[in-house]
Amino acid sequence: ELEVMTPAGRFTLQPAPGLYAAVVGGSGITPVLSIAATLLAREPSARFCLIRSDRTTASTMFLEEVADLKDRYPQRFQLVTVLSREEQQAGLPSGRLGRERLTELLPALLPVAQVTGWFLCGPYGLVQGAERALRGLGVDRTRVHQEIFHVAEGAGTEPVAAAPAHSTVTVRLDGRGGTWPVQEGETLLETVLRNRPDAPYACKGGVCGTCRAFLVAGEVRMDRNFALEPEETQAGYVLACQSHPATEAVELDFDR
Ligand code: FES
């Protein structure tokens, strides 16, 4: 018998009419395949353009499932594949999909300004390159959703500030509270997990956003953040798995 969390995360799409597009790399296809399949099945007037980057055909995940979508919705599903380490007989030349290439490629593939929602998913470099390309093409940030896989250690890490010698974290989680001392060097999530094993987390790497909590009082320093949007951090949310206390007392609310 397993106790599991409900699905979490905000890399989702409520099916609605319109044109949607995704730029994915490697295993970044995983959530996007479901998003595209659900959209096309539920919303007869929606269209989806999938731009995927993989090393070779042999290493491409969900090759058949994506080909099935193409067969089922030939008018509404557009598939563009770029292989970085193999030439294709037909289609685009091989190479990496970076900002410059996407800046040229995207306007040639689809009417960029008409895309209702963009879904970027894959390794940090690809997602960051795609995001910059879209920004350069004038796409509003609110239309761009991203989920990052595999962040290299050290990427996005902020300089370490001096931490207070003794600090405590007070937590509200599922309606119950507690206050515990934070041990030297540990993240607030680690402190919480020692006392409340039911605290939410998944990646512990600052990319999934599952450990999001509202900072009620005190200050924290985050090692890195690839999950929260600027509006969320401005509103006071932090990633517990990346947070270290910057004041002697910190209070987090996981229920908000
Ligand atoms: S557990 Fe994934 S961002 Fe903290």
Determine the Cα–Cα distance for residues 213 and 117; give it in Å rounded to an integer. 26
User: Which tens digits make up the pLDDT trace of 36-68?
Assistant: 999 999 999 999 999 999 999 899 999 999 999
Which runs of consecutive H residues, i.e. helices, occur in 148-187? none
User: Which tens digits make up the pLDDT trace of 208-252?
Assistant: 899 999 999 999 999 999 889 888 999 999 999 999 999 999 999
Ligand 1 pocket, residue 149 CB under 6 Å: no
Ligand 1 pocket, residue 182 CB under 6 Å: no
**Mean pLDDT, the chain, as a whole number?**
92
User: Which tens digits make up the pLDDT trace of 87-133?
Assistant: 777 777 777 889 999 999 999 999 999 999 999 999 989 999 999 99
**List of domains in the chain:** 18-149 (3.40.50.80), 167-253 (3.10.20.30)
From the CA of 211, how far away is ligand 1's center (Å)? Answer: 5
Ligand 1 atom 3: residue of nearest CA: 206
The residue whose two tokens read 């790497």 is 205
Q: 109 with 51: CB under 8 angstroms?
A: yes
Ligand 1 pocket, residue 125 CB under 6 Å: no
- CA of 227, closest atom in ligand 1: 3
From the CA of 44, how far away is ligand 1's center (Å)? Answer: 35
